[in-house]
Structure 1
Amino acid sequence: MERFFLALETASFKIYTSISQLPANWDKIAVSNAFLQTSYLKVLEESAPVNMQCFYIGIFENSELIGVALAQYLNLNRLESFGERDNCLKTVIRNFVFKNFASHALFLGNNMITGQNGYVFNKEIDFKHISELLLQCADAISLYFRKQKTNIHIVSFKDFYQHCAVELKKHNFSNVYEFNTQPNMIFELDPNWKTSNDYVASFSKKYRDQFKRAQKKCEEIEVRELRFDEIVSNEERIYDLYHHVAKNAPFNTFFLSKNHFSMFKKQLQDQFVLCGYFLNGKLVGFHTLLINGNVLETYFLGYDNHIQKEKMLYLNMLYNMTKYGIENQFKKIIFGRTALEIKSSIGAQPVMMSGFIYHSNSFINKYINRIFKRLEPTLEWQQRHPFKD
């Protein structure tokens, strides 16, 4: 795509539709975030959800690359299901609205993960110019689709920590609707924990008993990290387990492609971990992790629902991911924004994040706050406090 100039006299941005077009020093700029490095972007390019198209944004000062960003277009008309768990009138109405008034959605950021992973710079950029950049990028990509006779309905700027959201609202985002959904569950690991025994010892009796009960339930389960060839040979089963969990989520905007996990392992190798859970030699569950510097990012998982209930499989997955984080001395684990209560029971804390959204129809956008509040499912949950005082 053509180059666009920002309000800054010396700044511009260029939008790319293919990894092969990216500047040679892209990864030097993206070094601090694995979700913006070309190894991960290749995973998206070669195994993105069928209803997704990715755009890669280079930000330049004069001719020097100083920042990189990601945008994703989603065609919700190509989605098999928005989510099957909540079968009620509100869900039916929500799905009708999304199909007819929000089926073409543009996300500035990464809609597949939780966290502030949309852009990174190699120098300090003030929020005034970041707000200008994000809005101008959205306009440029929307124009790209209009030329192809597709109108973008919804534009969303995804996942900002609260201090960033506050700063953005002081500038060009002041009139863009800010929303908060479920919090991101983040586990700041105690640097004094060297083994999982140290972690378990810090529990109060109630949660130490919970840990022991979960471990006992899972005694027959063999857990092991899968090599690339094992992921390939189990690909159908892995996808079936993932798909079962995904379609029963309250709301979806995409489903992964069947080769997503093998492509991930091929591209990121030791940076990507897929652990399989086997019962009598049969794969009954899996979880995935991405190593992102000193942060451990949880990714997608899947399980056989009958086995999960009987063996407390999901809770054991959370314990195992925590064990991996402790034993490999990560600073924190990003657990994402689902199953909040059970994640808090293993030590994760809720961190509120904001998004911004607007509708291309000015009349609908005028009432976006009321519409969004009515369509977004409310969630009541009780935070658990597992550690000794």
Structure 2
Amino acid sequence: MSSNFSYKIYSSVKNLPSNWDSLATNNIFLSRDYLTVLEISAPKNMSCHYIGLFQDEELLGLAVSQFINLSDIPSFGERDNCIKTKIRSFVFRNLSSKVLIIGNNMLTGQNGYFFDKKLPTAAGLLLLKNAADELKSVFTKKGMNVHLTIFKDFLEPEIQNFKIPKYKSFFRFSTQPNMIFEIRDSWHQFDDYIDSISKKYRDQYKRARKKTDGISKRKLSLEEITNHRIRIYQLYMNVAKNAPFNTFYLPENHFEIFKKSLKDRFLFYGYFIGEELIGFNTLIKNGNDIDTYFLGYDENFQREKMLYLNMLYDMIGYSINKGYRRIIFARTALEIKSSVGAKPINMYGLMKHSNPFVNLFVSKTFSYFEPKMEWQERNPFK
């Protein structure tokens, strides 16, 4: 690599180069404002670093890294209480509990780095590998040996860029797809979407909407998010603990910090019966995309009121009416998301275990430990 390419690792947002945001214009998740959220209210078992990539003195690339300590997690998920889950928990706690990720484990999609056109992709990826190696040394000095190094979430063409010698020892893996909803040019309002779905799915929509009788939905301000903090966290944990696998839990103040930092680019919608908050969802404006973020609900009302499905319709309605191009619905609940029109997009990553012997078996054991989701893709359109 040319000697005038270099990288620098930052442990605090306040130390980032002054022109950092000029490279983060296409992705809010690399912006100083979002990274501030991470710094102040990241999960307790996560610590973040930020990487600047340079040619001479010119900033040409950005990246985010997250170190996750899985041994600090009280539960990896309580839904699947079977022998495989117990074995998986044992292995993660004892052999793979310290994980270094180049990317963002709290999001789905390639939100981990950006390279300017002047930075050749191969050179940028080499810099990131060197930065990852240095971060491993930083954590080792703190008495935390990194077990797994992961580069996540790439589309098929993007993962091909890693076919360079420096990444030869990494195992390529694929997990659940990213569910992406493309908004058609012919949809100018929500009714256009409803007109484009078949009778079966229009009936599903009408049935769901009837169930919302008695529910009021409103956008919450920072003050309201703060006032409802305890209930919001209860509802979030109801959903989080039912996930098949968790690597972190958000801190209680996460959403208010988010609102404080991103202001109107972060939307928080509460669903109420009377004065009781029974559910919420969150959206992030990211250029032409709307990214869905965390949500929560009371399990009793979710069943009775088809709350989750109604939230999906609300997200679609908002995004169409406001002229967005796509909704990033992320992972989980694949079938219900496909029933409203989201399509699965395969995502890939690379991982390497720091123990060369264990690394030989990573590819063979990964499929055993990755929670398998059986689901049927739906097509709601005429």
RMSD: 1.0
Which of 258, 263, 266 is the aligned partner of 2:260? 266
Q: Does 1:62 align with 2:62?
A: no
Q: Which residue of 2 aligns with 1:203?
A: 197
Deviation at 1:341, TM superposition (A): 0.4
Which of 127, 144, 152 is the aligned partner of 1:158? 152
Deviation at 1:124, TM superposition (A): 4.5
Contact 2:60–2:118 (CA under 8 A) maintained in structure 1: no
Q: Which residue of 1 aligns with 2:316?
A: 322
Deviation at 1:103, TM superposition (A): 0.9
Hey, what's the Cα distance between the residues in 1 that align with 2:286 and 2:2?
32
Hey, what's the Cα distance between the residues in 1 that align with 2:373 and 2:127?
33
Hey, what's the Cα distance between the residues in 2 that align with 1:286 and 1:351?
26
Q: Which residue of 2 aligns with 1:184?
A: 178
Hey, what's the Cα distance between the residues in 1 that align with 2:195 and 2:94?
53
Hey, what's the Cα distance between the residues in 2 that align with 1:189 and 1:173?
36
Q: Which residue of 2 aligns with 1:222?
A: 216
Q: Which residue of 2 aligns with 1:250?
A: 244
Contact 1:86–1:250 (CA under 8 A) maintained in structure 2: yes
Report 1:17-36 matches (<5 A).
17-36=11-30
Deviation at 1:222, TM superposition (A): 0.5
Q: For residues 43-78 of structure 1, what are the alpha-carbon distances to aligned partners after superposition, in whole Å with 9 as ceiling and x for unaligned?
A: 111111000000010111101111110000011111
Structure 1 portions without partners, runs of 5+: 1-6
Hey, what's the Cα distance between the residues in 2 that align with 1:274 and 1:298?
11
Q: Which residue of 2 aligns with 1:294?
A: 288
Q: For residues 233-274 of structure 1, what are the alpha-carbon distances to aligned partners after superposition, in whole Å with 9 as ceiling and x for unaligned?
A: 011111110011001100000000100000000000000000
Q: Does 1:46 align with 2:49?
A: no
Q: Which residue of 2 aligns with 1:336?
A: 330
Q: Does 1:116 align with 2:110?
A: yes
Q: Which residue of 2 aligns with 1:3?
A: none
Contact 1:131–1:171 (CA under 8 A) maintained in structure 2: no
Contact 2:7–2:54 (CA under 8 A) maintained in structure 1: yes
Which of 349, 358, 365 is the aligned partner of 2:352? 358
Deviation at 1:195, TM superposition (A): 1.0
Q: For residues 27-49 of structure 1, what are the alpha-carbon distances to aligned partners after superposition, in whole Å with 9 as ceiling and x for unaligned?
A: 11111110010111111111110
Hey, what's the Cα distance between the residues in 2 that align with 1:60 and 1:97?
38
Hey, what's the Cα distance between the residues in 2 that align with 1:302 and 1:46?
22
Structure 2 portions without partners, runs of 5+: none
TM-score by length of 2: 0.98
Q: For residues 276-318 of structure 1, what are the alpha-carbon distances to aligned partners after superposition, in whole Å with 9 as ceiling and x for unaligned?
A: 0001221000000000011100000000001000000000000
Which of 365, 368, 372 is the aligned partner of 1:371? 365
Which of 304, 309, 315 is the aligned partner of 2:303? 309
Deviation at 1:150, TM superposition (A): 1.6
Q: Give the residue type in structure 2 aligned to 1:209.
A: D
Give the secondary-structure state (helix, strand or coil) at the position aligned to 1:91: helix
Deviation at 1:121, TM superposition (A): 2.1
Hey, what's the Cα distance between the residues in 2 that align with 1:110 and 1:44?
10
Give the secondary-structure state (helix, strand or coil) at the position aligned to 1:245: helix
Deviation at 1:170, TM superposition (A): 4.6
Q: Which residue of 2 aligns with 1:107?
A: 101
Q: Which residue of 1 aligns with 2:167?
A: 173
TM-score by length of 1: 0.97
Deviation at 1:133, TM superposition (A): 2.0
Deviation at 1:320, TM superposition (A): 0.4
Q: For residues 197-254 of structure 1, what are the alpha-carbon distances to aligned partners after superposition, in whole Å with 9 as ceiling and x for unaligned?
A: 1110101000000000000011211111101111010111111100110011000000
Q: Give the residue type in structure 1 aligned to 2:121.
A: F
Contact 2:151–2:349 (CA under 8 A) maintained in structure 1: yes
Q: For residues 325-356 of structure 1, what are the alpha-carbon distances to aligned partners after superposition, in whole Å with 9 as ceiling and x for unaligned?
A: 10011010000011000000001000001010
Contact 1:224–1:275 (CA under 8 A) maintained in structure 2: yes
- State the number of aligned residues: 382
Q: Give the residue type in structure 2 aligned to 1:159.
A: D
Deviation at 1:373, TM superposition (A): 1.3
Hey, what's the Cα distance between the residues in 1 that align with 2:290 and 2:2?
36
Hey, what's the Cα distance between the residues in 1 that align with 2:329 and 2:127?
29
Deviation at 1:93, TM superposition (A): 0.2
Q: For residues 141-190 of structure 1, what are the alpha-carbon distances to aligned partners after superposition, in whole Å with 9 as ceiling and x for unaligned?
A: 00111112221001110101110112212553333100001000001101
Q: Which residue of 1 aligns with 2:75?
A: 81
Contact 1:127–1:171 (CA under 8 A) maintained in structure 2: no
Hey, what's the Cα distance between the residues in 2 that align with 1:89 and 1:337?
24
Q: Which residue of 2 aligns with 1:15?
A: 9
